Amino acid sequence: MPLIRYISERTNIRLPFKRYQYGPVWRYEETRKGRYREFCQFDIDIVGSPSIAADAECISTIVDALGTLGVGRFDIVISSRKVVEGVLNYIGIKEKERIDGAMRTIDKIEKIPREKLYLEFRKYDIEKVQADEILNALSRKGAQNR
């Protein structure tokens, strides 16, 4: 059962509410290479906590589970629009149109060469110096414990 439906049907749930779920998921889009219509997915959710510690708990659970399963080396990639917007604001990109354009370009980082990224950024009045600041900020890595 989808999480939002589960929560909305139960008015007496104590918050924060924690749950995990494993099962089949279906995409309602055209399939293409590497993107199947049906696949299995594991979800971990915490609902009703305003603390970033809830996010950290979910990430920690993933790290512990993969370590226990003996998966070996793995990467966890975390994406936060608020953090990226903060980086963009910090380097002087504050207009909604430019932020939205930068976000669309950022989504292409792993798909197109750096020189083409500069051209994409340029469409939104983002100069090469600013583009380099964005790309450098987004390429930072955290500690590797495993």
**Could you give the C-alpha distances from 15 to 9, 11, 19, 139, in angstroms and in order?**
14, 11, 11, 36
pLDDT bin (cut points 50, 70, 90) of residue 78 is confident
Nearest to 58 by CA among 19, 14, 3: 19
3-class DSSP state of 22: strand
What one-character-per-residue DSSP string does 59-71 give? Answer: HHHHHHHHHHTT-
pTM of the model: 0.62
Residue type, 122: R
- The residue ranking higher by pLDDT, 143 or 118, is 118
Nearest to 88 by CA among 141, 130, 53: 130
Evaluate if residue 36 carries a pLDDT over 80.
no
Degrees (nearest 5) of the Cα angle 59, 28, 104? 60
Q: What is the mean pLDDT of residues 121-135?
A: 96
